[in-house]
Amino acid sequence: MDFQIKSIEQYHNVYKHSVEQPEEFWADIASQFLWKKKWNKVLNWNFKEPYIKWFDGATLNITENCLDRHLAERGDQPAIIWEPNDPNEHHRILTYKQLHHQVSMFANVLKHNGVKRGDRICIYMPMVPELAIAVLACARLGAIHSVVFGGFSAQSIADRIKDAKCSHVITADGAYRGNKDIPLKSVIDDALMQCDSVKKVIVLTRNRMPVSMIKGRDVWWEDEMKKMETLHEYDCPAEEMNAEDELFILYTSGSTGKPKGVVHTCAGYMVYAGYTFSNVFQYKPREIYFCTADIGWITGHSYIVYGPLSQGATTLMFEGVPTYPDAGRLWEIVEKFKVNILYTAPTAIRSLMQSGVEFVNGKNLDSLRVLGSVGEPINEEAWHWFNENIGKKRCPIVDTWWQTETGGIMISPIANVTPLKPAHATFPLPGIQPILVDENGVEIKGNGVNGNLCIKFPWPGMIRTTYGDHERCRTNYFATYENLYFTGDGCLRDEDGNYRITGRVDDVINVSGHRIGTAEVENAINAHTGVIESAVVGYPHDIKGQGIYAFVICEEDTHEEDLRRKDIGMTVARIIGAIAKPDKIQFVKGLPKTRSGKIMRRILRKIAEGEVENLGDISTLLDPTIVEDIKNGRI
Ligand code: 7RM
């Protein structure tokens, strides 16, 4: 692509231009995508409402950019390489032609099952190529996908389906994940008992675990595809979408109890995902790119599906987990497919680091050229381990900071361009204008400072609204500080202007790179019988980055404590999903509250961290003696 930055001097020039002439800058980049109609105006905006429109007046379909436009030049090159959970099962390769064909056929399946432009479609699937096919088929028809990660519970799915009033669900009988079989369809059946908006469920065969199929509602993916063959419904014209039509909804946790449906729109998201993918990883034609995320998270949307495919890349999709059958699995995959670019999460690196280098030894990792990290702050120890043992000190590590709401990478080194500093995301990408502010929203200028990270100018990939509740989008992101997008992250800027994101400053815990709201977990714990009140905080965890520590007040009961802990864990798993189970539960008699009844989380955080000496001023507490009790009962 013509927009790849090749040197640090060029980066500085491009960056300067992107800030001084943002519309000109983005128009140049956007013109390298495929449009049905060009825009009238590159950008209209205010952060007050917020009102954000990129490429207004333009029309396009993102799947033509991800599929059709590559057919002539690289139709026979692999678009998706798929590696199964079980190393003994055969891998699959879909060329651009084959992927285009499958997406078109499945889009026709959706059409025949009543899916129309603008409908919301819930996707709850394992990491198989059909998941990418389902996502792209929705986009081809202009239906809005809402992918829900396979680890969420029936209740969480139901909440998301109801919030978006989804008309269809695409799922599979079950999933393989490590040595477990996960009953996806049965979880969907439980969820659908609460959802009347869903008219049809399309079920892919994966592990063929027994499923109940309801007449008139449930159909098999394979049967429907066969029907399309018989009807010769091979082609599916791509809907002509407006630039700002909604492309997808992805739910994410915030500081309130209810996850928000982050909305991304067609044109801006496409341009931003494609541009950042190409630049950050410096992708070259025919390279094999492997992102270990799940498509259920934003990283999978932007950097397994849309970013790489929009650039004609080969994207490797892995169904399993890094530790199955053993901790050498990722390195085996790198060796098997001669992976050039590996993009993974600090939590995976730390867990593989703990398993020991014997799982790396003997694996040929010579193909690797660029390494990437995403999802949480990477600690220096993990950074060096990754650099030495995987990159053999010859691969740059791009520590990419971004969020579900930003759509794509915001602050990150550009591989082989930006000088690296371990555990630092370094510099903003072109078009991104970060600033640090204090509690009052006053800008903290200069270097060697830290503050709350905000962005002061729009970028094409940014959140447009929270589904069904624009006001929530405003209060969450644009109301804390006037005229700024607030990220919720704390951040340092070193003497040389390198950014280092230190973690959330709100009530969000980042567990293994997954965002979990403390309020959500508290609500789930409080739903457990006998629980009177609870307070949840994060604490440093060797592998997960942060763990979940719950302080719980219970009524007297006869069950022994450990059993009660497990029961509470079950309740949380049922309401949110296993990913939100507290790592530690401490039963307490009371919580540290101010006279106005607010829980002082600062104190609980310190106790959870094991820092029991310097708790700061506790004199404003209603009952300071409670703190002693809690300290003594620490686990
Ligand atoms: C892509 C993604 C977003 C939150 C974000 C941060 C944290 C992500 C980094 C990071 C330090 C990084 N989206 N975060 N990347 N912190 N360095 N390179 O993870 O919406 O799920 O999470 O993750 O706190 O606000 S997300």
Containing structural domain, residue 171? 62-370+425-430
DSSP reduced 3-state for 150: coil
**What's the 403 CA to ligand 1 centre distance in angstroms?**
5
Domain stops at, among 504, 523, 544: 504
Q: What is the pLDDT of residue 130?
A: 99
Ligand 1 atom nearest to 297, measured from its CA: 21
Same domain, 241 and 320: yes
Residue type, 508: V
Residues 274 and 344 placed together within one structural domain of the fold: yes
257 pLDDT more than 90 = no
**Which residues on neighbouring strands pair with residue 450, listed in sequence order?**
492
Last residue of a domain, one of 484, 504, 524: 504
Closest Cα to atom 22, ligand 1: which residue? 403
pLDDT at 166 over 80: yes
256 has pLDDT over 90 = no
Q: Domain check: are 264 and 124 in the same one?
A: yes
| Amino acid code (one letter) for 171 | T
Which two structure tokens, joined as six digits, stand for 49? 């409402």
Q: For residue range 84-137, list pLDDT tens digits in order.
A: 999 999 999 999 999 999 999 999 999 999 999 999 999 999 999 999 999 999
Q: Where are the alpha helices (DSSP H) in 113-182?
A: 129-141, 154-164
Distance separating alpha carbons of residues 631 and 608, to the nearest angstrom: 9
pLDDT band for position 241 (cuts 50, 70, 90): very high
Which pLDDT score is estimated for 622?
85
Q: Give the pLDDT score at 35.
A: 98
In a domain, 437, yes or no: no
Relative to beta strand 120-124, strand 144-147 is parallel
Gap from CA of 540 to ligand 1 centroid (Å):
16
Q: Is residue 466 domain-shared with residue 563, that is, in the same domain?
A: no
Q: Please indicate, yes or no, whether residues 605 and 486 belong to a single structural domain of this protein.
A: no
β-pairing, 314-318 vs 288-291, is: parallel
Same domain, 82 and 157: yes
For residues 195 and 210, state if they share a domain: yes
- Residue 318 is assigned to a structural domain of this protein: yes
d(CA 160, CA 172): 18
3-state helix, strand, coil in the chain (%, to 5): 35, 25, 40
Are 77 and 158 within one domain?
yes
Give pLDDT, residue 6: 98
222 in the same domain as 183: yes
For ligand 1, residues with CB inside 6 Å are 252, 297-299, 374-377, 399-404, 425, 487-489, 501, 503-504, 510, 513, 515
Name the nearest CA neighbour of 359 among 367, 369, 348, 343. 348
Which is the closest atom of ligand 1 to the Cα of 503? 24
Please determine, for residue 393, whether its predicted confidence score (pLDDT) is greater than 90.
yes
325-343 pLDDT per residue, tens = 999 999 999 999 999 999 9
| Residue 556 binned pLDDT confidence (cut-offs 50, 70, 90) | confident
**Domain stop point among 486, 504, 522:** 504
Q: Could you tell me the distance, in angstroms and rounded to a whole number, from the CA of residue 84 to the centre of ligand 1?
A: 27
What is the 453 CA–ligand 1 centroid distance (Å)? 12
Taking the centre of ligand 1 as the mean of its atom positions, its distance from the CA of residue 90, in whole angstroms, is 34
pLDDT above 80: residue 586:
yes
Total number of domains constituting the chain: 3
Pocket test for ligand 1, best of 291, 403, 500, 544 (most atoms within 8 A of CB): 403
DSSP reduced 3-state for 162 = helix
Q: Quick one: which atom of ligand 1 is closest to the CA of 411?
A: 18
- Residue 180: is its pLDDT beyond 70? yes
Q: Using the atom order of ligand 1, give the atom closest to the CA of residue 400.
A: 18
Return the residue whose CA atom lies nearest to atom 18 of ligand 1.
Answer: 401
Mean pLDDT along residues 627-633? 92
Please report the DSSP string for 421-467 in residue order.
-TT--BSBPTT--EEEE-TT--B--SSSEEEEEEE-S--TTS--EET
Ligand 1, atom nearest to 399 Cα = 18
pLDDT in tens, 40-51: 999 999 999 999
Q: Tell which atom from ligand 1 comes closest to the C-alpha of 405.
A: 20
**Residue 359 is part of a domain; what is its CATH number?**
3.40.50.12780
Per-residue pLDDT at 1: 62
Q: CA-to-CA distance for 295 and 54, rounded, in angstroms? A: 25
Residue 515 alpha carbon, nearest atom of ligand 1: 21
CATH code for position 615 = 3.30.300.30
Read off the pLDDT of each residue in 233-246 and give the average, rounded to a whole number: 97
Q: What is the pLDDT of residues 281-304, one digit of tens each?
A: 999 999 999 999 999 999 999 999
Residue 536 is assigned to a structural domain of this protein: yes
354 and 468 both lie in a single domain: no
CA 272 – CA 262 distance, rounded (Å): 16
The Å distance, Cα 112 to ligand 1 centre, comes to 39
Checking DSSP bridges between strand 485-493 and strand 465-466, what pairing results, if any?
unpaired
Q: Are residues 153 and 183 in the same domain?
A: yes
**386-397: average pLDDT:** 98
> What separation in Å is there between the alpha carbon of 263 and the centre of ligand 1?
18
Assess whether 352 and 273 both reside in one domain.
Answer: yes
Write the residue with the smallest CA distance to atom 3 of ligand 1: 403
Residue 89, in any domain of the structure? yes
Distance 315 CA to ligand 1 centre (A): 22
pLDDT at residue 612, as a whole number? 83
Type of residue numbered 346: P
Q: How far is the CA of 455 from the centre of ligand 1 (A)?
A: 15
Q: Is residue 69 part of a domain?
A: yes
State the distance from the centre of ligand 1 to the C-alpha of 513, rounded, in angstroms: 7
Per-residue pLDDT band at 559 (split at 50, 70, 90): confident
- Evaluate whether residue 106 is within a structural domain: yes
Task: State the sign of the Cα–Cα–Cα–Cα dihedral 217, 221, 225, 227.
Answer: negative
Which residue has the CA at smallest separation from atom 13 of ligand 1?
A: 403
pLDDT in tens, 25-70: 999 999 999 999 999 999 999 999 999 999 999 999 999 999 999 9
Q: Per the domain annotation, does 394 fall within a domain?
A: no
Query: Which residues have C-beta within 8 Å of that of residue 275, sequence separation ≥ 6?
Result: 3, 29, 408
| Residue whose CB lies within 8 A of the most ligand 1 atoms, among 429, 489, 493, for a mutation test | 489
Rounded to whole angstroms, the Cα distance separating 168 from 121 reads 5
Measure the CA–CA gap between 73 and 88, rounded to whole angstroms.
33
Give me the sign of the Cα torsion angle 121, 515, 492, 482: positive
Residue 189 lies in a domain: yes
Alpha carbon of 402 to ligand 1 centroid (Å):
5
Pure H helices in 343-430: 346-355, 380-385
